[in-house]
Amino acid sequence: MASCSIEDVLAKAERDEAEKLRSIAVNKELDLEFDPGHLLAFDKNRVDTREFKDNKGEDFLRSLARDNTQLLINEIWKLPTEKVDEVIVAKLPDSTTPLPREKPAPKPKPPTKWEQFAKLKGIQKKKKTNMVWDEVHKEWKRRWGYKRANDDTKEWLIEVPVTADPNEDQFAKRNKAKKERVARNEYNRLKNVARAQKIKVPGIGLAPTSQQSKSELAQAVNVAKISTASVGKFQEKLPKEKTSKNTGKKRKFQPLIGDFGSEKQKQLDLLKVMDSKKPRLDVTKAVNKQMREEDRESAQKSKKSFGKKGRKGNMSGKGKGKGMAGGKGKGKGMAGGKGPKGKGRKPNMKQGKR
Amino acid sequence: MTHLDGIVKAKTRRAKRFLQSREPKLTESLKNCMIIKGGNTSETLSQALKDVYALKKPNAVLYKKKNMVRPFEDSTALEFFSKKSDCSLFLFGSHNKKRPNNLIFGRMFDFHVLDMFELGVERCVSLKALKKDTCPVGTKPLLVFAGELFDTDREHQRLRSVLTDFFCGPRVSAVRLAGLEHVLHFTALEGRIYMRSYRVLLKKSGCRTPRVQLEDMGPSFDFSMRRSHMASDDLYRTAHKKPKGVKPKKKKNISHDAFGTRFGRLHMQKQNLDKLQTRKMKGLRKRKRRGEPAESVPPKTAKTDV
């Protein structure tokens, strides 16, 4: 009896378990595909159209959705959980569904001219402290910006250098110098940007400088002279002015003996380019050719079929000789057909050329 | 604003931060969505647009005014909008005689149209019409796709990808279990696509996993497929390209068993156990002998001597 009761208890427990599971279990012909990373499920099973119609669409869709959602929820509940701020949270794995990116991946920034130079020389960045001791105010102040330490723009008096013009405004001079430095820096920044984007940097030869030398001035004059619509052909000249020479780009040659590796590479690259060059396809020309060929073929076919008919008639009548003659005639006909066309075209072409 | 990258320099910190937020990132966590009203929209359509906006809300922009745009003919206007609002997903609604109640779901890559699908709204039940509880704004929905077509037909496959992209919301590493309140169910049947939106009610089942019950929430649409524009394979592959830095480098020659124990092979030199240094004590100290210096010469040199 005792054993029987144990069996009963076990069976009952099993049944209970099954009952519990039944409420969350769903039977499907094909298993669903899950991607818990995106909370995504995909049911590949065929949707029964008849049931959809019988069952008044909406209810059918809802029951389908319920089953699928239950399966997805079952899958999500299997994930490892964590307690964060009194809330149970399921950790999601990386998603398996590939989705395209929004923007292409960022590229590393190309180094500026200074960075290149610093790397070459091994100059490393040093962190400067933000606060600096100001001797005048006897105070710690910021190195840069508003209310900075040792601010030379805030001086109320500047000593006029012995060499300087006594009437010159030293404050204005200082301001101007500052503005020029700022402009120069901006120009350099733009040059860096241009170099990074592989755009040709304009006007490197004639960058603004504070004091232009004789040669620079001469170059500027030359550039200005040839910057006309007629490339300076009709520019007026001074009585004894020499025409400028060597204003263009000088040719540069590779050294006679140098890096053999790079030279070899260059040659190989050239060969590669030559090898890979294919004749360019002129689409209109190719299409015209194809069309003409098709026309010709169809024309030939139609003629052949006529010829066959003729032949049959001939065969029934006389011997081979006539058939041969018919063949010749055909050939002549073809040639004749072509001839006038060609003749008609040629003069046209010539006229067009002239 | 990519064409001005690095050329226009931000003048304030705030502007700099703004520009930084728009720069391409190594791992993208979120795609924003713009919902655009076309030149003409019917009442159902503008309601539909509003409803989708409600579903997408914190990550969406609604363009409420008329926009005379035809995405399939000329997508430059859309590209401009996408640059302006930094959105890579779009939903465009328009209504005309030839294509009544037209919705275009699409996505962009690098501010150019990648895929778009034109769906005609045959039936629409809006959020308002049902007058039932809705889930809170910004809930990450469960997405379920059903139907053979989503697996077999190429266009449907791509549409599935677009819809996943459109509705899946931010990429997250963890999710609150009690917050799974919203299901979007897409069924492909007889050339139509039925989009249904339900509220999930989690009921006690007696075991750990709850039993699911669904309640209609809206919006629900019956779509029919119209025109489509799919990216070329080449572009599609480029868009899926993963940057180098993201994937952690795989360590070689390390395996794990079922319990997560790490196995590997160590390569060590042969140890001379005779000269093993045990604990140092005064009593065990070696005495220096006279003959010892010759013995303490390392064996290698000794070999060369021989």
The candidate with the shortest Cα–Cα distance to A68, out of A90, A42, A50, is A42
Can you give the pLDDT at residue A222? 84
Assess whether A148 and A170 both reside in one domain.
Answer: no
Backbone CA torsion sign across B212, B215, B216, B217: negative
Residue at A79 is within a domain: yes
Interface of B with A in 4-33 (CB under 8 A): 6-7, 9, 23-26, 28, 31
The candidate with the shortest Cα–Cα distance to B60, out of B26, B94, B36, is B36
In the block, residue with structure tokens 């590479």: A265
Residue at A241 is within a domain: no
Strand ranges (E), A131-270: 131-134, 139-142
Touching check for B243 and chain A: CB below 8 Å? yes
pLDDT at B295 over 70: no
Cis peptide upstream of residue B293 (ω within 30 degrees of 0): no
Reduce the DSSP state of residue A109 to 3 states and report it.
Answer: coil
Assess whether A142 and A191 both reside in one domain.
Answer: no
Q: Between chains, do B141 and A21 touch, taking CB under 8 Å as contact? A: no
Assess whether A137 and A194 both reside in one domain.
Answer: no
Residue at A352 is within a domain: no
- Between the alpha carbon of residue A207 and those of residues A195, A220, A317, B144, the distances in Å are 16, 10, 97, 64
Burial B88-111 (b: 16+ CB within 10 A, else e): bbbbbbbbeeeeebbbbbbbbbbb
Domains of chain B: 32-231 (3.40.50.10480)
Of B25, B205, B236, the CB nearest to A24: B205
Final residue belonging to a domain, choices A176, A201, A226 = A201
Mean model confidence pLDDT for chain B: 87
Q: Are A132 and A138 in contact (CB under 8 A)?
A: no
Each residue's pLDDT tens digit in chain A (354 positions)? Answer: 555 688 888 888 888 777 777 777 888 888 889 999 999 999 998 888 887 777 678 888 999 999 999 999 999 999 999 998 889 999 999 889 999 999 999 888 899 999 999 999 999 999 999 999 999 899 999 999 898 998 888 889 999 999 989 899 999 999 999 999 999 998 898 888 888 888 776 655 556 677 888 888 888 888 888 889 998 888 888 888 877 766 667 788 888 887 888 889 999 999 988 888 777 788 888 888 999 999 999 999 988 776 555 454 444 444 444 444 444 444 444 444 444 444 444 444 444 444
Query: What is the number of other CB atoms lying within 10 angstroms of the CB of residue B75?
Result: 19
The candidate with the shortest Cα–Cα distance to A193, out of A181, A182, A201, A184, is A201
The candidate with the shortest Cα–Cα distance to B156, out of B233, B228, B73, is B228
Enumerate the residues of chain A whose CB falls inside 8 A of the CB of residue B175.
39, 76, 89-90, 92
Can you give the pLDDT at residue B160? 94
pLDDT at B294 over 70: no
Q: Between chains, do A82 and B178 touch, taking CB under 8 Å as contact? A: no
Q: Between chains, do B143 and A64 touch, taking CB under 8 Å as contact? A: no
Cβ-based neighbours of B173, under 8 Å, separated by 6 or more: A91, A92
Can you give the pLDDT at residue B118? 95
Residue B228: both structure tokens together: 């489509």
H or E, element range at A74: helix A57-77
The candidate with the shortest Cα–Cα distance to B150, out of B104, B114, B106, B186, is B186
Assess whether A85 and A39 both reside in one domain.
Answer: yes
Can you give the pLDDT at residue B285? 67
Q: Between chains, do A38 and B164 touch, taking CB under 8 Å as contact? A: yes
Can you give the pLDDT at residue B98? 94
Region B135-153: mean pLDDT is 91
The predicted-structure confidence for B187-239, as pLDDT tens digits, reads as follows: 998 889 999 999 999 988 888 889 999 998 879 999 999 999 999 999 999 99
A247 vs A60: CA distance, rounded Å: 84
Q: Is A44 exposed, middle or buried (0-12, 13-18, 19+ CB in 10 A)?
A: middle
Can you give the pLDDT at residue A202? 60
C-alpha torsion B277→B279→B282→B283, nearest 10 = -90
Assess whether A29 and A56 both reside in one domain.
Answer: yes
pLDDT at B64 over 60: yes
Assess whether A195 and A153 both reside in one domain.
Answer: no
Burial A120-146 (b: 16+ CB within 10 A, else e): eeeeeeeeeeeebebeeeeeebeeeee
Touching check for A97 and chain B: CB below 8 Å? yes
What are the phi and psi torsion angles at B158 (to 5°)? -65, -35
Where residue B44 falls among pLDDT bands split at 50, 70, 90? very high
Of A23, A62, A100, the CB nearest to B239: A100
Can you give the pLDDT at residue B135? 84
Residue A334: both structure tokens together: 């073809």
Cβ-based neighbours of A310, under 8 Å, separated by 6 or more: A326
Reduce the DSSP state of residue B108 to 3 states and report it.
Answer: strand
- Between the alpha carbon of residue B291 and those of residues B272, B277, B287, B294, B297, the distances in Å are 21, 21, 11, 6, 11
Q: Against a cut of 0.80, is the pTM above it?
A: no
Of A64, A76, A88, the CB nearest to B187: A64
Domain that holds residue A175: 160-201
Cis peptide upstream of residue A108 (ω within 30 degrees of 0): no
Q: Are A291 and A264 in contact (CB under 8 A)?
A: no
Q: Are B195 and B185 in contact (CB under 8 A)?
A: yes
Q: Is beta strand A40-43 parallel, antiparallel or unpaired with respect to B142-146?
A: parallel
Assess whether A7 and A64 both reside in one domain.
Answer: yes
The number of CA neighbours under 13 Å toward the Cβ of A159 is 3
Residue at A148 is within a domain: yes
Strand ranges (E), B126-206: 142-146, 174-176, 182-189, 192-203
Assess whether A35 and A56 both reside in one domain.
Answer: yes
Residue at A61 is within a domain: yes
Residue A67: both structure tokens together: 């089953």
Q: Is B48 exposed, middle or buried (0-12, 13-18, 19+ CB in 10 A)?
A: buried
Amino acid at B199: R
Into how many domains does chain A fold?
3
Query: What is the number of other CB atoms lying within 10 angstroms of the CB of residue B262?
Result: 9
The candidate with the shortest Cα–Cα distance to B24, out of B52, B57, B1, is B1
Q: Are B168 and B29 in contact (CB under 8 A)?
A: no
Query: What is the number of other CB atoms lying within 10 angstroms of the CB of residue A164?
Result: 11
Assess whether A153 and A165 both reside in one domain.
Answer: no
Enumerate the residues of chain A whose CB falls inside 8 A of the CB of residue B238.
104
Q: Which residue in chain B has the smallest CA separation from A43?
A: B146
- A175-179, B174-178, B257-261: which range is least confident on average? B257-261
Query: What is the number of other CB atoms lying within 10 angstroms of the CB of residue B47?
Result: 19
Can you give the pLDDT at residue A55? 67
Assess whether A15 and A27 both reside in one domain.
Answer: yes
B225 vs A138: CA distance, rounded Å: 77
Residue at A16 is within a domain: yes
The candidate with the shortest Cα–Cα distance to B141, out of B210, B32, B52, is B52
Where residue B287 falls among pLDDT bands split at 50, 70, 90? low
Residue at A136 is within a domain: yes
Assess whether A81 and A140 both reside in one domain.
Answer: no
Residue at A196 is within a domain: yes
Q: Between chains, do B173 and A91 touch, taking CB under 8 Å as contact? A: yes
Q: Which residue in chain B has the smallest CA separation from A82?
A: B174
Assess whether A141 and A61 both reside in one domain.
Answer: no
